[in-house]
Amino acid sequence: MPSTYTTNGGIELPANGEQASTWGTTVNDNMQIVDRLTNGIGAITLSGTAHTLTTSNGNLSDGQYSVLVLGGSPSGTNTVTIEPNDAQHLYIVRNASGQTATFTQGSGANVSVLNGTTKIIYCDGGGTGAVVVDLTGSIDLGALIVGGIAVTATGTELNILDGVTSTTADLNILDGVTATTAELNLLDGVTSTTEELNILDGVTSTTAELNILDGVTADTAELNLLDGVTATTAELNYVDGVTSAIQTQLDGKEAVDAEILKADTDDNLTAGYTATPTSDGTQASGTYTPTPAGGNFKTAVNGGAFTLAAPTATGSYTLILQITNNASAGAVTLSGFNKTVGTSLLTTTDGNDFFIYITKVGGFTSASVEALQ
């Protein structure tokens, strides 16, 4: 009876009673195959665009290696066909061929190993519909250490880099950045170019100052109007609260009247005027010192004895003071004046009224009393 062979490794299985006195050769060959299946590293030379990885029955063959190191000079993506299609194999594949190698066994799924990468794959030996599966495509790593440094980023965080086209130099610009994630997220959705962002190079504004721009809807052309502006912050703040065109507001103001009196210009008053007197309340004790502040016409009630002192406000001016006695009226004593006239006319009779004309010029002050009854 002839020998049979294992499905996956092609190891010879002599029939009972066969190979008498010669079976040692078969055993030795089988041990070589077992050694290759368990520990063998095979250098596979690829060429062109196709290669067959064969497992031969009873003989050492490339398909029996457990580790495949792909080399050679393929002309493009190389399709590596695993034969036979009913053999199951587990391979560690390191591709150093310079091209992508695509492993196939049947009409099922294939696995591509990019140049410069390593993958763990297996073929299921499913015959014409056999599939090749990438075991490294879904490895769950409890921890990842790269170059001696533990990677703590989550998969979600690493996926943020998906599609990034920045160069090493571009990413190195971030070296030393102390911004938090929340602060960097403020850039989410920014469409400015590198040149546009470089305009901020050297800006010393604080976050609070830049936040003033929050909600600004001006376009680039409108903001460019500020190019060359030398106004200070204080000067620009003058327009704070302006709700309409300044020129429109100015146009709506009454034109300057040439006849308006000016404090520093001689003029001739050709019309009269009226004024509302300022009430200085009831004077019942102490000293009352009138002042032109608030108006030059004053009223006061005599509610008790008090002293009327000469005004001390600077400048030259005239005051007209009307004093009205009430039932508690007391004596009024004038003090500090350079000249007084008619002080004897002052009484304490309830209801009596008096005008006191006060004039101050060049440091001299006079008072003249006129009884109104």
What's the pLDDT tens digit per position in 188-244? 778 878 777 777 777 787 777 777 777 778 777 877 777 788 888 888 888 777 877
Domain extents for the chain?
A: 39-138, 278-371
Tell me the C-alpha distance between 156 and 160, whole Å: 7
Q: Output phi, psi for 145, to 5 deg.
A: -120, 125
Alpha-carbon distance 348 to 327, whole Å? 8
% pLDDT > 70, the chain? 97
Average pLDDT over residues 257-273: 75
Say if residue 144's pLDDT is above 90: no
More confident residue, 313 or 138: 313
Burial label for 229, CB within 10 Å (0-12, 13-18, 19+), is: exposed
The one-letter amino acid at 81? T
341-345: Cβ within 8 A, 24+ apart: 341/366, 341/367, 341/368, 341/369, 342/368, 342/369, 342/370, 342/371, 343/367, 343/369, 345/369, 345/370, 345/371
Segment 13-32 mean pLDDT: 78
- The reply to whether CATH 3.40.50 applies to domain 39-138 is no
Say if pTM beats, i.e. exceeds, 0.85.
no
Question: What's the average model confidence in pLDDT over 30-34?
Answer: 86
State how far the Cα of 253 lies from the Cα of 259, in Å rounded to an integer.
Answer: 17
